Structure 1
Amino acid sequence: MKVMKWSVIAMAVAAGTSQMALASSQSESEGFVEGSSLTILNRNLYMNRDFRDNGAGGTAARGQSYREAWGHGFIGTFESGFTQGTVGVGVDAIGLLGVKLDTGRGRVGNGLFPTDSDGRAEDDYSEAGGAIKFRASNTVLKYGTQFVALPVFSTDDSRLLPETAEGSLISSSEIEGLELNVGRFTGLNGQAATGRDSANSGALESINLIGGTYAISDALSTSLYYSDVEVHEAADYEKFYGNLNYNMDLGSDQSLAFDFNIYKSDVDAADSDNTIWSLASTYSVGAHGLTVAYQRSSGDAGYGYGVDGGGTVWLANSVQYSDFNGEDEKSWQARYDLNMASYGVPGLSFMTRYISGYDISTPTGTGEEREWDVEAKYVVQEGAAKDLSVRLRHAKYWSDSDYAPVYESSDLTDVRLIVEYPLSIL
């Protein structure tokens, strides 16, 4: 742990010898009211999962073999400006409301809504929270309820409403090209729940994290993070994360990008560890993008996450349904992207990808899994409905009998239709 902390500090010191300090954001503060904003994201989500073989997905432990739900979510975010002076003060607030439009007791289980004691989805659910923030120069301290997007602690936003975190985070950008983050969180609120620290049955006791990202040049950047997680009535663990990203301009509307991610997790008081890494390369020419990726997991167990946020899996082969993070799993991906703006339809895009995972260690042998995703998205470019987006996602997943019990079925489809419309009130 000390090595990781000192590595981050050393990176900051080294950057300071070659970069000029940024102008102070606090000195340019507009004021508490003048700098305020209020936005409401309307999200309409329909989702179904069909466990067509009625295997593990149809058992009492796993839930229904066919799950279907439709709801509308309101995600309200208020951010005040900072008061003027050497140290600026402000407040942020989050308000979340989810409304059930359709589902039934025989179709619940997709994680959109909380359920009552009879297993029926609640008609609506809501959550609200606030945070106080302080800014000096280009350093901000925020304490309270917030969204977090860091590779070792990331709130999940894959359903109707997002997870929220309770705690404090310091973000500093005093040196050009360098962003440092230090945080401590003691609660994680679930996507389909209303109580504080409701995610994973309140398993998170605390997480301390430190790390940063440094832009070495316009084309090359690197990240390094560390977290120490304490879990209620379970083994605590440490997690290390590293990233290297390089973008090469080839001219003639062509580019080549490389993205390397790696996690190393060590569980205290248990003979369990995992190292997982992925390397992705994307060749872009005009409207077209072709990506190939390879991912590999090794150690005594598969890569684990969730207690530290359902979005804490920044890996190339973490896709719509599976994360391809099993014990000793190897996986590869081929992906194609198409931006229709070049063909006279700005805002319309398509994506398809195929991922294959193999050599997965299981109690009964060696398992395999596959997934094929297809996605289409359109964003309105102008007019009264500007920024309204419609997104259709389809996933087809297979696994063999050795790996099927780990997931919910060996043969399923996952379909999601997402309509979002952001409203800027202030």
Structure 2
Amino acid sequence: MGFGLEGFAALGLKLDSGGGRTGTSLLPWSDSGHPEDDYSKAGVALAVQASNTVIKYGEQMPQVPVLAYSDVRLLPSSARGLSVNSNEFSHLNIQAGRFTAVTSNDSTNSDGEITTDWEVLPEGRSLSYAGGTYKADNSFTATFYGSEYKDIWHQYYGGASYTLPLNNNKALSFEFNGYDTHDYGASKGGPIDTFAWSVLGAYRFGNHKVSVAYQYVDGDEPFDYIAFDRTQSGIPYLNNVSSVFPFSEPHERSWQLRYDLNFAGYGIPGLTFMTRYIRGQGMDNSHSDNSFYKKIVNYDSNPDDNKHWERDIDLGYVIQSGKAKDLSIRLRNGKHRATTGTRFPDFDEFRIIIEMPIKVL
């Protein structure tokens, strides 16, 4: 048996800010209503290991299908609680946890509320989960998790992926992901009965990969998922949930066409390119009795008129050697357009993301 401490510390500095460039969850707000010039956060977790099982208590960054931290802003979010991660059985990873407080991306407080992506449900007092992933070999993986959002919902996730190698550096791959969400107990978030699922097929040939995905939210309520004190969460395991919009509206049908290119085969290792187009339509919550979700948006009686689309382009490079080895630079452009009456506005975004890992030991 072994004991240890795991910790992290992070510092965020404001380089520039002004009108029209606030409200993006990058920086916390001062008492005067302006973004702070700097902020920092730290966390510690006690770890106990017996055989191939690790138990942790304290500040952590969970990454499971029903609870995932976010690192899409300047500093990552985190959660405080207990977790168990076990690899006692061959090919099988089992995890469980219970968390009672969170720290959002733009906060230094470790007592934030556990909320949801839609930001309209009452705060849950705790989030508990258990589940596991089975890997038969390098080609097949199956995952199942169940979670309890205290007095609001039970949410279950099931997913599987399979890769079929072909000759001449080619392969076919397939994925299925599904989330089943139902209110329970005191039902403080109102009635919820939603099954959201997606399927994906991909063909890889050499350094190229082409993917097609379909996603459907079967329910009068949207597909909602855990967030960190009314800010971003990690991306759930549905294929059309993107970094900009989740395509998670009630009864929404969406499809995606995606292309990936790895330039390593052309003599430029570390350079990657991705572009995708996602289109959603058919949003309809006219039969929902959930007042929390309906106060955000009421879709009109003709769901075929409710449409939106997103186009993303991503170009990244990781330096392979020298003093700046592992420095990554990523350029990301996103465009979103929607018909009148949908929840999301027209949107244009350009991000420059630079990351430099520093080894201190």
Fold conserved between structures, TM > 0.5:
yes
Q: Which residue of 1 aligns with 2:7?
A: 93
Q: Per-residue deviation at 1:312? A: 5.1
Which of structures 1 and 2 has the bigger CA Rg? 1
> Are 2:112 and 1:112 aligned?
no
**Distance in structure 2 (CA, Å) of the matches to 1:179 and 1:314:** 17
Q: Which residue of 2 aligns with 1:424?
A: 359
The 10-residue stretch of structure 1 (238-247 or 213-222) with the greater mean CA deviation from structure 2: 213-222
**Distance in structure 2 (CA, Å) of the matches to 1:297 and 1:106:** 33
Q: Per-residue deviation at 1:203? A: 2.8
Aligned mate of 2:140, from 220, 228, 232: 220
Q: Per-residue deviation at 1:221? A: 1.1
Aligned mate of 2:243, from 302, 311, 320: 320
Aligned mate of 1:342, from 251, 261, 265: 265
**Distance in structure 2 (CA, Å) of the matches to 1:322 and 1:106:** 20
Aligned mate of 2:88, from 160, 169, 174: 174
> Are 2:83 and 1:148 aligned?
no
Q: Per-residue deviation at 1:106? A: 4.1
Q: Per-residue deviation at 1:307? A: 3.7
Aligned mate of 1:300, from 192, 195, 220: 220
Matched AA of 1:327: P
Q: What is the CA deviation profile of residues 256-280 of structure 1, one whole-angstrom value per residue up to 9, with x for unaligned ones?
A: 1111110011123332211100111
The 10-residue stretch of structure 1 (262-271 or 415-424) with the greater mean CA deviation from structure 2: 262-271
Aligned mate of 2:167, from 235, 246, 251: 251
**Distance in structure 2 (CA, Å) of the matches to 1:301 and 1:129:** 36
Matched AA of 1:134: V
Matched AA of 2:27: F
In structure 1, runs of 5+ residues without a counterpart are 1-86
**Distance in structure 1 (CA, Å) of the matches to 2:47 and 2:200:** 37
Higher RCO structure (Cα 8 Å, ≥6 apart):
1
Secondary structure (helix, strand or coil) at the match of 2:264 reads helix
**Distance in structure 1 (CA, Å) of the matches to 2:43 and 2:222:** 34
Bigger helix share: 1
Q: Per-residue deviation at 1:218? A: 2.5
Matched AA of 1:372: R
Instruction: Answer yes or no: is the 8 Å Cα contact 1:190–1:197 preserved in 2.
Output: no
The 10-residue stretch of structure 1 (195-204 or 291-300) with the greater mean CA deviation from structure 2: 195-204
Aligned mate of 1:288, from 186, 202, 208: 208
Instruction: Answer yes or no: is the 8 Å Cα contact 2:235–2:241 preserved in 1.
Output: no
> Are 2:282 and 1:359 aligned?
yes
Matched AA of 2:334: A
Instruction: Answer yes or no: is the 8 Å Cα contact 1:185–1:206 preserved in 2.
Output: yes
Q: Per-residue deviation at 1:118? A: 3.4
Q: Please provide the CA RMSD for this pair.
A: 1.6
**Distance in structure 1 (CA, Å) of the matches to 2:332 and 2:20:** 23
Q: Per-residue deviation at 1:115? A: 1.3
Q: Per-residue deviation at 1:105? A: 4.4
Aligned mate of 2:48, from 111, 134, 146: 134
Q: What is the CA deviation profile of residues 304-348 of structure 1, one whole-angstrom value per residue up to 9, with x for unaligned ones?
A: 123477115211001121110000000000000111111111111
Q: Per-residue deviation at 1:119? A: 2.7
**Distance in structure 2 (CA, Å) of the matches to 1:312 and 1:340:** 26
Aligned mate of 1:124, from 38, 41, 59: 38
Matched AA of 1:337: D
TM-score, length of structure 2 as denominator length: 0.89
**Distance in structure 2 (CA, Å) of the matches to 1:351 and 1:297:** 26
**Distance in structure 2 (CA, Å) of the matches to 1:393 and 1:312:** 17
Aligned mate of 1:386, from 317, 325, 329: 325
Q: Per-residue deviation at 1:147? A: 0.8
Off by >4 Å, runs of 4+ in structure 1: 199-202
**Alignment length, in residue pairs?**
332
Matched AA of 1:156: S
**Distance in structure 1 (CA, Å) of the matches to 2:226 and 2:143:** 21
Secondary structure (helix, strand or coil) at the match of 2:126 reads strand
Q: Which residue of 2 aligns with 1:28?
A: none
Instruction: Answer yes or no: is the 8 Å Cα contact 2:76–2:104 preserved in 1.
Output: yes
In structure 2, runs of 5+ residues without a counterpart are 286-297
